[in-house]
Homo-oligomer: A and B are copies of this chain.
Amino acid sequence: MLSKKSQYAFKALTYLTEKYNEGPVLISEIARKKRIPLKFLENILLELKKADILDSKKGKGGGYFLKKSPEKIKVASVIRLINGPIAMLPCVSLYFYERCKNCNEKHCGLHDMMIEVRDATLQIVENRTLRDLVV
């Protein structure tokens, strides 16, 4: 399951997608409109900024905004950043791979199946962007 933090991140990002090219948006505005605890949202936005997804401007008239256009920001990369691995097992993860101890990956039915699950999921989340989330 996605953490609440991830859900907040997506809410904030879709809001910023709707406001794309309208200049910086206040953290407090996003928090109010999307019902996200302000200080918690602060951390999330900062993390998204450090990952080059958002950019910000300080002082009066400042706020947060998308650094790239919404159709260039993949859902998969947001999930990996805020939530972590997409795969169900470390031994089938592409970005968070860890070898499976006491389990031969060559002859493990669970492993093979979880690769299928991973690929079916990636097929979707790697091909959707923030733009697709705004209906």
A98 to chain B, nearest CB (A): 11
Stoichiometry, as copies per complex, reads 2
* Residues in B whose Cβ lies below 8 Å from that of A45: none
- Scan residues 102-135 of chain A and give those whose CB is less than 8 A from a CB of chain B: 102-103, 107-110, 112-113, 116-117, 120-121, 123-125, 128, 132-135
Cβ A2 vs Cβ B89 within 8 A: yes
**Interface: A43 (CB within 8 A):** no
Interface hit among A6-14, A21-29, A48-56, A59-67: A6-14
In the complex, A101 Cα to B120 Cα: how many Å? Answer: 28
A73 to chain B, nearest CB (A): 13
**Chain A residues in contact with chain B, CB under 8 A?**
1-2, 7, 10-11, 14, 34-35, 75, 84-85, 87-90, 101-103, 107-110, 112-113, 116-117, 120-121, 123-125, 128, 132-135
